[in-house]
Structure 1
Amino acid sequence: MTIIEDAPIDGEAADALTIGRRVRQLRLARGMTLDDLASAVSRAPSQLSMIETGKREPKLTLLQAIARALGTTIDALLEAEPLDERATLEIALERAMKGSTFQTLGIAPFRIGKSVPDEVLRTLLRLQGEVDRLNDERSATPEEARRANVELRHLMRRQDNYFPELEEHAQRILAAVDHPGGPLTQRTASDIAAHLGFSLHYVSDLPPSTRSVADIRHGRLYLSSTVPHRGDSRTPVLQALASRILGHAEPHSYAQFLRQRVETNYLVGALMIPEAQAAAALQEAKSRRAISIEDLRDAYSVSYETAAHRFTNLATRHLGIPVHFLKVHESGTITKAYENDDVNFPADRFGSIEGQLCCRRWTSRVVFDIPDKFNPYYQYTDTGNGTYWCTARVEASSEGAHSVSVGVRFDDTKWFIGRETTNRGVSRHAVEVCCRRPPEDLETQWRDQAWPNVRTPRTLLATLPTGAFPGVDTTDLYEFLEAHAPEG
């Protein structure tokens, strides 16, 4: 450690509170009073008292003198860990008293005397932690969620939507169960569960707010015995196991919750469509100028959305193609979005795309009006940022129909099946008259003669779901586990 002579000691490894506690405990262990140590280092007792209580940072020369007087080394005084549990509790509480929680509650810092029992210190720290948790829950407003979502999307953009550490996790798990490649079967999903120490149990009374429940104590994974319409029985198994594979802990913020959800979905995609085989197939398709999301979907027996997601993971890293991805509800609302090709998505003042109305001229909206639901829909769209080509499909879900589209810049269209399409659109969604306002003649005729009963989104005015696992009724969850836990 390099320290400038006579400079204050700072940094995480040299926390003033920790140094002060070490000095006091070593002094007491050697039977020295504060006056004794002050005399040995030629300082006033009050000055040393300020150091021992962490109210003053010692300079190097004084710290060296203190170390010599206590028969120890300066490195020993600068260790980050306090000497015993009592010191750890005192330091934690003193830090808490300097924090915003105590200040907001109007609790003035107080001296922690020797007579204060350890359990009282633990109780105060637990109470402070619970107040912080409740404050975090209350701050999970829609605005907070939008900001967290924007930050996460920026991270994905910086990484071209590619996370190498998650790819490595998937490779290790697939190798552990000897997956030969190709579509991942239900049996292989069960093998992955067994490899992670879980048995699968299909039940009819899964809590309504959950897709699966893991009983970590008994190594049991509960899933619904009813597969939703057009559902994939592998997905809930892999989603439940992904959090165990990744070592997810209870999320302490909505941003962490969103990050865990993205990581889970990414890992599931990487397990169902392994990187090595899929990248090789896509590179071969590019050489033939025949890239197709449908071909990727069919090769691995996954949904179109899963194939589209996986393509966006691999396209830039392995093919050198920037892309954008959109999932749009039949109401026109964007529910998922990603881009690294400079396409200009509609956004609110926070920069959030999700929840915005998709331009009516874009492929993602036009596809809802296409009668042919069997074949993919292709379209070129001229925008203020240039021309983009997109391929899209409509898929049904429990929340209504959604369109899923993948798009690229005009120069990259040459690599894709569907580039010959004659479908064209013009979008100027940055200009209000593009589609956010109706044509003038329609508005004139109906402006004062229409009054719709709006289907208000249930989260419009509410804060986001609170709790360790947002949206999950933990009472239902724990009662379910209690009812299904094996005896003994």
Structure 2
Amino acid sequence: MTSTASTPTGRLTTPDETPVSSADSGATPDPLTLGRRLRHARQQSQRTLTDVADAVGMSPSALSLIETGKREPRLSVLTALAHALGTSVPDLLATAPPTRRAALEIKLERAQRSEAYESLGLPKVKIGPRLPQEALEALVGMHEAMTAAQADQAATPEHARRANLELRERMRAADNYFGDIEQAAADMLRSINHGGGPISRASVDRLAAHMGFTLVHTSDLPSSTRTVTDLQNQRIYLPQPEAGQHDSRSLALQALAHLVLGHRVPADYAEFLSQRVEINYFAAALLMPEKETVQYLRTAMQDKDIAIEDLRDFFAVSYETAAHRFTNLATKHLGLPVHFMRIAQNGVIFKAYENDGIQFPSDPSGAIEGQRVCRSWTARRVFEQPDLSQAFKAYTDTRSGTYWCTAVVDRTPDGLFSVNVGVPYQHVKWFRGRETQHRSVSRCPDPACCTQPPAQLSERWDGQAWPSARVHSHLLAAMPPGVFPGVDDTEVYRFLERHAPQASPMD
């Protein structure tokens, strides 16, 4: 995870034949782009490899390696080359290729260096001035089509489960605490002289302005998106908050997170998923700053009165945000192992995390998303309570030990969900609600625990019931294709066209 304060450099369009100025650069280019810009500058000045190499005291072969992207020059060498060619180091370091042909050559070179191409055992096409541009266009187009087809084949529910499993293992290894994102959030708060405590909507506006962006609320946001960022006009479009919804602070901060954390266009679903986790973490770290949240939790711990609902109310965030933030900080700063779940009313897991040894239900691959938790677990028992507005606290004896949990029902347009936080029995002394008399026993994965009907019911109804099952068609389909899964690019681009500032006649 990175905390570099920069804007995304992934580009969705190809540069034309017009040379790109240094003003277009936003980060250090890769060796291929640097090499092409260097070659372009040399050819524009009508100099040979030998001529330029002699001028800077290096061999022509060494300069050729730099131009082909096979070697990165030291800054001193790059400075000497810029001087010899009558250009500047920033111009050579611009991230955009100098011409469309250069862009095509770079794409073909990258494609032929990839493991996927190597695995085909095919010869590589020599890239040089004698290769017609039409051939370049065709070769690059075929490589991109092949890559897209491979991505579509990989972007299946199975692929998503594997990506989730790998990400959860990474989170567990770090105790769900990522210091680089915490530091990036702290730096942002210092940039607006935040005085501490909960962050206001006005502070979010100042953070956006610090990054050079304006927040714009609109009622016609594309249905396939949560937010849309216009990098050209430096606007972040957010939905109009509806009655009863939380404000848009979290969505705005998540959009800003892509910029602060230096995210590029994701290469695959796993990277897309990782970025989603990172932006959620970053937003929570701003809404609930580490220093103030840890201080608040330590005071509650001294009083043996930790309560997620107090965190929620103090920082004016959702219960789920407070629960997530607690898992970020509890192990690192309080020494408490924890687990977290968000499940639907039918018991299906949507999100989960643990470093306390609890055993979530899983499929043979180890994935837990889509599995049902035991009916005896607190996360499901909360739905049976008469007052769904209150946190429900209970003990559960499981195959991996006894856990105390607190759960709250979250009402959403998609139905009821529960958000659950739990700790092993030996750590319950720090929490409010430890005196609860609610207790249950879970024998899952023993089918007799809760997946098999009781014997009396089976005897009464076996063979007498024929339910019409609700088929979840998404289980049979591949995940929506595209760089950002499920997003309709046409819808997004039309939206941006409608909202882009109109140039004045004097421009």
* TM-score, normalization by structure 2: 0.77
SS at match of 1:406: strand
8 Å Cα contact 1:90/1:112 also seen in 2: no
Q: Secondary structure at the match of 1:183?
A: coil
Among candidates 480, 488, 493, match of residue 465 of structure 1: 480
Q: Is 2:69 aligned against 1:81?
A: yes
Identical amino acids, percent of aligned pairs:
45
Cα distance, 1:225 vs structure 2: 2.2
User: Which of 175, 180, 184 matches 2:190?
Assistant: 175
After superposing the two structures, state which structure 1 stretch, 342-351 or 113-122, moved more.
Answer: 113-122
What is the CA-CA distance between 1:205 and the residue it aligns to? 1.1
Structure 1 or 2, whichever has the larger Rg, is: 1
Give the deviation of 1:335 after TM superposition. 0.6
The aligned amino acid for 1:96 is Q
State the shift of 1:406 in Å: 0.4
Q: Is the 8 A contact 2:405 2:420 kept in 1?
A: yes
SS of equivalent residue, structure 2 residue 150: helix
Count of aligned pairs: 427
**Alpha-carbon displacement from aligned partner over 1:162-219 (angstroms, at most 9, x marks no partner):** 1111101110111111222222111111111111111122222111111221111011
Cα distance change, pair 113–279 in 1 and its aligned pair in 2 (3 A): closer
| Aligned-partner Cα distance in 1 for 2:243–2:135 | 51
Deviation at 1:370, TM superposition (A): 0.5
In structure 1, the partner of 2:166 is 151
Select which of 284, 288, 293 maps to 1:273: 288
Structure 2 partner of 1:219: 234
Counterpart secondary structure, 2:408: strand
**Quick one: which amino acid aligns to residue 166 of structure 2?**
E
CA–CA distance in structure 2, aligned partners of residues 383 and 477 of structure 1: 48
Alpha-carbon contact 2:157-2:479 (below 8 Å) kept: yes
Distance change in 2, residues 1:199/1:142 (3 Å): same
Instruction: After TM superposition, give the deviation of residue 445 of structure 1 in Å.
Output: 2.0
What 5-or-longer segments of structure 1 have no aligned partner? 1-17, 19-27, 32-70
Q: Aligned pair in 2 of structure 1 residues 76, 333: CA closer, same or farther (>3 Å)?
A: same
| Alignment RMSD | 3.2
Superposition deviation, residue 110 in structure 1? 5.7
Distance in 2, Cα, partners of 1:387 & 1:427: 10
Displacement of 1:131 in angstroms is 2.0
Read off the aligned partner of 1:353 and give its amino acid letter.
I
Cα offset, 1:101, TM superposition: 4.8
- 1:96 aligned onto 2:112: yes
- Asked whether the equivalents of residues 93 and 121 of structure 1 are also in contact (C-alpha less than 8 Å), the reply is no
5 Å-filtered alignment, 1:339-488, equals 339-488=354-503
Q: Write the distance in 2 (CA, Å) between the matches of 1:298 and 1:263.
A: 24
* Paired position in structure 1 for 2:144: 129
Asked whether 1:289 is paired with 2:289, we answer no
Q: Which residue in 2 is equivalent to 1:329?
A: 344
Structure 1 residues 91, 247: closer, same or farther in 2, change over 3 A? Answer: closer
Question: Match of 1:379, SS?
Answer: strand
Q: Indicate whether 1:320 and 2:339 are aligned.
A: no
State the alpha-carbon separation in 1 of the partners of residues 497 and 64 from structure 2: 49
Q: Distance in 2 between matches of 1:196 and 1:347?
A: 42
Match of 2:82 in 1: none
Supply the distance in 2 between the matched residues of 1:253 and 1:379 (Cα, whole angstroms).
Answer: 40
Distance 2:447 2:243 in 1: 40
Counterpart secondary structure, 2:474: coil
Residue 115 (structure 1) shift: 2.9
Partner Cα separation in structure 1 for residue 351 and residue 331 of structure 2? 19
Change (3 A) 1:114 1:455: same
Quick check: 1:249 aligned with 2:264?
yes
Contact 2:175/2:355 (<8 A) preserved: yes
Q: CA separation in 1, counterparts of 2:421 and 2:464? A: 39
Give the partner amino acid of 2:289: P
Deviation of 1:417 after TM superposition, in Å, equals 0.6
Confirm or deny: 8 A CA contact 2:378 2:396 kept in the other structure: yes
Q: Deviations over 1:284-332 (max 9, x none)?
A: 1111111111111111011111110000000000000000001111121
How many Å separate the matches in 2 of 1:189 and 1:257? Answer: 24
* Equivalent position amino acid for 2:279 in 1: T
Deviations 1:255-293 (A, max 9, x none): 001100100111111110000010011111111111111
- Alignment CA distance shift 1:111-1:241 (3 Å): closer
1:57-94 per-residue CA deviation (whole Å, 9 max, x = no partner) reads: xxxxxxxxxxxxxx9599889878348998x9499549
- Give the Cα–Cα distance (whole angstroms) in 2 for the partners of residues 332 and 263 of structure 1: 26
Residue 380 of structure 1 deviates from its aligned partner by 0.5
Is 1:163 the equivalent of 2:178?
A: yes
Question: What CA distance in whole angstroms lies between the structure 1 residues aligned with 2:49 and 2:259?
Answer: 45
How far residue 125 of structure 1 moved from its aligned partner, in angstroms, is: 3.0
Preserved contact between residue 190 and residue 200 of structure 1 (Cα < 8 Å): yes
Whether the 8 Å CA contact 1:377–1:392 is kept in 2: the answer is: yes
Aligned to 2:92: none
Per-residue CA deviations over 1:396-420 (Å, capped at 9, x if unaligned) read 1121111011000000001111110
Tell me if the contact between 2:49 and 2:64 (Cα under 8 Å) persists in the aligned partners: no
Whole-angstrom distance in 1 between the partners of 2:115 and 2:139 = 14
Q: Give 3-state SS (helix, strand or coil) of 1:401's partner.
A: strand
Relative contact order, CA 8 A, sep 6+: which one is greater? 2
For 2:247, the equivalent position in structure 1 comes to 232
Please give the secondary structure, in 1, of the residue aligned with 2:413.
coil
1:227–1:233 Cα contact (<8 Å) kept: no
Contact in 2 for aligned 1:206/1:224 (Cα 8 Å): yes
Q: Secondary structure at the match of 1:422?
A: coil
What is the Cα deviation at residue 100 of structure 1?
4.1
Task: Report 1:60-79 matches (<5 A).
Answer: 72=59
Q: Give the C-alpha shift of residue 426 in structure 1.
A: 0.3
Q: How far apart in 2 are the matches of 1:416 and 1:83?
A: 58
| Corresponding letter in the other structure for 1:222 | Y
Tell whether the 8 Å contact from 2:208 to 2:215 is kept in structure 1 after alignment: yes
- Residues 333-356 of structure 1 deviation map (CA, whole Å, 9 limit, x = unaligned): 111100000001100111111110
Runs of 5+ consecutive residues of structure 2 not aligned to the other structure:
1-34, 36-47, 52-57, 73-100
Change (3 A) 1:441 1:179: same
Moved more, 278-287 or 77-86: 77-86
- Structure 1 distance, partners of 2:355, 2:71, is 51
Summarize deviations over 1:216-269 as a string: whole Å, max 9, x none.
Answer: 101112122242633332122122222122121111111001100100111111
Whole-Å separation in 1 of the counterparts to 2:292 and 2:389: 27
The 2-side partners of 1:83 and 1:367 are apart by 61
Q: Is the 8 A contact 1:204 1:226 kept in 2?
A: no
Cα pair distance change 1:378/1:96, threshold 3 Å: same
Which residue number corresponds to residue 217 of structure 2?
A: 202
Distance 1:178 1:486 in 2: 31
